[in-house]
Amino acid sequence: MAQRDRLFLRGFHDRSLDHFGHQDHLRLAWLVMKNHEPDEGLNLIKHGIKEYAESQRAGNRYHETVTVFWAQIVHHAIHASSGLDDFDAFLASFPFLLDRGLPLRHWTGRTLWSESSRAGWTEPDLLPLP
């Protein structure tokens, strides 16, 4: 694992990151999903992000459906990537991952932003996931 990735994970776990935005969520998903079985990786990501949000007094911002969606999409891209070991190269190969609006291709806004989708997994109501 690259030093940059080790530092990122350390910052995530000790809650010392200056920022935890979309690309950071993707990096976390990439690091976890490429090193764990899908179910285990997904559980690690969900619990890690929930705990991180709570530590930042933003627990109400955690969104289950969005978290599961991005973890699954990143997992799908990892398996299509031919073993890229550099996160920046991974993103360059899959630039669609940077589109924060990607979930809205699969869910209507009403469904995705509902309290039930925030609290638990909701199946897409527009387009199935790959």
Q: Please check whether residue 124 lies inside any domain of the structure.
A: no
Q: Please check whether residue 20 lies inside any domain of the structure.
A: yes
Q: Please check whether residue 126 lies inside any domain of the structure.
A: no
Tokens of 3: 């030093």
- Report which of 76, 15, 95, 21 is spatially closest to residue 51, judged by C-alpha positions: 15
Summary mean pLDDT of the chain: 95
> For position 45, what pLDDT does the model report?
98
Structural domain boundaries enclosing 31: 3-119
Residue corresponding to tokens 């997904």:
42
pLDDT band at 121 (very low <50, low <70, confident <90, very high): very high
Q: Please check whether residue 127 lies inside any domain of the structure.
A: no
- Total domains in the fold of the chain: 1
> For position 59, what pLDDT does the model report?
80
Q: How far, in Å, CA of 129 to CA of 18, rounded?
A: 32
Exposed, middle or buried: residue 114 (CB in 10 Å: 0-12, 13-18, 19+)?
middle
Q: Please check whether residue 129 lies inside any domain of the structure.
A: no
Query: How far out from the chain centre does Cα 123 lie?
Result: 17
Three-state secondary structure call for residue 95: helix
